[in-house]
Each structure stands twice: as C-alpha cells, then as structure tokens.
Amino acid sequence: MTFRFRTLTFLLFLVVISGFLLLFSLNAYYTTSQILKEAARESLARSAEAVQHEFDIQLRLIDQDLHMLSVDLALEPNLLDKTRPELNEIVLGENRGKRQHRYAFALVYLLQEGQCFLLKNPLLDIGPTNCKQLYSKYNDATRQEWNLLNNGSEWLLIKDYLITNADQKVVGRLVGGIKLSNNKLFLNQLVHRTQAVIDRAKLLVDGVTLTDHVFEKPVEGANFGLRLLGLNHVLEENLQLPIKGFGEHLQLRLQSADTRIYSLASRLLALLVGGCLAGLVISALVAALLSSSLDKQLQKLVMYIRHLMTGAATDRWSPGRIDEFNRMGGQVDEIAAELSTRRTELKAANQKLEKALGDKRVILHQLINNQEQERNHLAQELHDELGQLLTAVRVETTLLEHQISMSSPALKNTKNIKDLVAAMYATVYDRIMALRPTELDHMGLCQSIQQIPTLKSLEQSGVTVSLDLEDVITPSGADIHLYRIVQEALTNVLKHALATELSISLLQTQDEVVLCIKDNGQGFVPDLDVDPTGHRGFGLLGIEERCDFIGAILTIESDNGVTMTVNLPC
C-alpha cells in the first residue's frame, strides 16, 4: 500500500499532535483523579468522625435505658416473686408512660433464687436462648464497660447492671444490649447524619462481616461517562474505622461516592473531552494546511528533478517559501552540474575504453590466428623433417638388420633401435595431432574430436567417456576453434575435475551448432577460477576468447560437476 506525501505528512502531524493531546489528557486524568480522590478521602474522613460520635451517642442512650431499667427493677416491690410475664411487662412493656427503649433484649438473673429470665421480642434472633448458658458465657467473657459476645452465629453488644432492693442489698443482675449481626437499622442510625453520601456500610468483628447494608445511590444515571472512562472507581473511597473502646475487634467500613464530587468530576470530564475534541479539530486543520504546503513544494522539486533528467530544465531552481526545500533545490542544481561534468568525462573515458577493448580484441584475434598458423607450420615441419628423418633411421636400421648374421649380438640392438624409432614416431605423431589434427582437414570435426589424445588418457585413468557427435557444418574457420575448446576442456577435466564420467555431444540445429561437455567432477565457481597470483586460469580465458572470436555463446554451470555449453550460430 502506497500513500502520497501529502497524506503521510498529514497523518504524521495528526499523530504527533494527537500524541501530545493524549499525554495532556492522561496527565489531566491522573491529576483530576488524584484531586477527586483526595476530596473523597477528606469527605469520608469527616464522615467517619461523625459516625464515631453517633456510635457513642447510641451507646450512651442504650446505657441510659438499661440503667433506668435497673432502677425500675430495684424499685419494684416483691421483685423476687415476679413471674416471667410480669418481668416481661416491666422490661419490654410500653404502657408505663416511658419512651420506647433502645435496647433489644434484657437478661434478669436473681441471685437468691438462682432464677434467670431472658426477655426479648419473640421475632428477634439473638442465637441460643438458654438464659443460664447465656449468662454463664457472659461471665466467662472479657469484662469491660461494653462487651462483645458471640452467641452461636450472632454477635451481641452487652452491658450489665446490679439490681438492689430497698436495703441496698444486691439481689440480682441485669444484662442487656443490642444485636450487631444483620442490624441494618443500627447502621442507618450511625450514618444518617454524615456529610458525605455513604453508599455502603459494613460492621465487622475481627474481619468477619456482621452487617452489610447498601444504601441507594442518588446519582446512578448521571455518571455513565464517569463509569465509561473508569473515574467512578476513583471517586469511590473506602475507610475502615476501628470503633473506640473495642480496639481492632469491632470495625466499621464505609464506602462513599459524594454527589458533589461526582458533579465536579462530571464538569471536569466535560471540560477535558471538549478541550481534546477542539484541540483535535484544530490540529487536523493545521496538519492539513502544513501537509498541503509541503506537498506543493515537494511536487515542485520532483518536477524540477524530472525535467533535469529529461533535459527539459533550462533554468535553475526557483526558491519558494520553505527554506529546507530551497536548500534541497540548490543541492540538486549542484549535483546536476557535477553529474553533467562527470557524464562528459565518463563518456570520453568510455570511448577510450571501447577503443582499447577493440584494439585488444583485434590483437587477441590476431594472436589466435598467428598461434594457429604457427601450430600449422610447426606441425608441417615436424611431419616433413623429423618424420622423414625417423623414417630414414628406421629404413637404415632394417638394412643393417639384414646385413648382420642371426647369431650376432648386434641383432638385438637393431631391434631395440627400431622400437625406439617407432615410439619416437608415435610421439611425434601425437604432437603433430595436438598442433594440427590432420583429420580436421580430411574427415571433419566429429572424427577429429574422437582422435584427441587426452580422451585415451582419460579412459586409461578410469573415466567413462560417452560421445554423441554428429557431422556438423560450421562457419569458415570455426571448426579448429571448436576443436581447441574441446581439447582445453578435456585437459581441465584430466587435471582438476576428479571426475568418473564424461560426456561430449556435438549437435546441429536449424540455427546453430551446439557443443556440450559435461563431467561429474568436483566442479568450480567460474567467477572464482583464479590461479595463486590472483589471475583467472588461462584455459578458461582461452575458451572464452575463442568463443568471442567465432561469435559463439559460452555457458558454464557448476552443479554436481561442470557443464560447458557452446552455442555457435550458423
């Protein structure tokens, strides 16, 4: 996928400015959340003080009610003779002109009679209701002004009072208090005077929840945006408050989401979102203007370079409003002038090089012709002179052999001389064939290739030779060069290839003669075929020059051996 420069610059500016806006938004979000969280924490701290004060007031009122009940019991005549219904009327009755009591239950224990009465509303569950067991459990508990008592699955807050008669003699004990487990009314009484809006309140004993009450949230629907951005959890604060007088055993946990803080958060959120949107729109317009200006200057520079390339530019770069593009245009002018100078120099150098290469090629071709002529002359000299001398020696040796008696020891020497002369003649013949194969003039290229001495050497060294040779018609003078190419290739195979198989094919098509030499040796990389001095091997170089001389195409492949193909147009 490709984009125009204008699009890329627009996107780049937009991404950069959007990144700055994002960083600003994140910083504003973090700062706002910290401010709001601190405000919520302060509001909840003030509410915690109010809750603690309300808790003390409630305990004081319950204490007053229980104390008044103990006084009423002390003033009651014949208390020891009272029945349970009568005591129940005294403790829980509402028809004695008194205000409604705040305690939830009362336990009356008469010391002289050993009687125990547990008086409570039948609907109130305070755990096991065995009066004496409850009294005994209270006696075994830690004794302080107010005591926490675990009665089965229920937790109670209890305080005891002495019951005396008219003679100020202790006749019994009064134990009373309230239930803490599942007492939502008590939680409501604690938090209803707080300044902050309490969403949830929990009463815990040693980390175990006794009462958990969720209050109705007054701003649920108005804070969708805050919940969407995750600010609602920032505005909700939790405070775990130890109740004074009970250490860490009794605690009240409050969760608050103040409506005033939510209102402030909503305004800040609206301001933040509006500012970001406005900044994004403005940044998009600025990015569009900047990208358009840059694109125009870039298109101008591209057209100027294109005209320089085609030669249509007649003037130098005309400066625009952007300094960087003006400097680029000036540099392009300098580069164009330098390239023009270099082009002229390079053209002159190329002409000299082409002339030198042409001269070299002419000289090389002349050397090849001279080499062939010298070989022909040397072969002819060897054939005419050395060949005749060897023939004469052989004839003289034969005549001498007839003149020596059969019993003479010299007869053996004459035979040795004849054998040496025959070997010398064979060697001279091989050298003549190497210099100028006579079969090439009489029987053609196909037969000449078969008579190359290197083939016999390859077969003697264990190489399997396969020949597929056709009689071909080559351009004038090309047959000797094809012969030399085969001769040089076979020499390379014998010396370097370490091959076990060799095939030579010579085919004639409608348009060309195809010579292919293939072996299964160790191969080589043509471009890296160099001698220890760093120069390419003369064998391969000679093959390439001969192909160039006759206008043939040479292809060398080295893969599991070497395949050399020569395509000679007819």
147 has pLDDT over 90: no
Check whether 235 has a pLDDT greater than 70. no
Per-residue pLDDT band at 520 (split at 50, 70, 90)? very high
| Encoded amino acid at 355, one letter | K
pLDDT in tens, 357-371: 777 777 777 777 777
Strands 464-469 and 501-508: parallel
Those residues whose C-beta lies under 8 Å from the C-beta of residue 6, and which sit 6 or more positions away, are 291, 292, 294, 295
Tell me what pLDDT residue 216 has: 64
The token pair that represents 556 in the structure block: 């060398």
Residue 341 clears pLDDT 90, i.e. is over it? no
Q: Are 182 and 210 in contact (CB under 8 A)?
A: yes
Higher-pLDDT residue of 230 and 234 is 230
In tens, the pLDDT along 38-86 reads 777 777 777 778 888 888 888 899 899 888 888 888 888 877 777 778 8
Report pTM.
0.43
| pLDDT attached to residue 436 | 67
Predicted confidence at residue 251, as pLDDT, reads 84
**Extents of the domains making up the chain:** 1-314, 342-436, 442-570
CATH fold of 442-570 reads: Heat Shock Protein 90 (3.30.565)
- What average pLDDT does the segment 80-107 reach? 73
Cβ atoms within 10 Å, residue 124:
12
CATH topology for 1-314 is Beta-Lactamase (3.30.450)
Percent of the chain with pLDDT over 70: 80
Distance between CA atoms of residues 422 and 404, nearest Å: 21
478-492 and 453-460 are packed helices; what angle lies between their axes, rounded to 10 degrees?
20
Instruction: Name residue 237's beta-bridge partners.
Output: 256
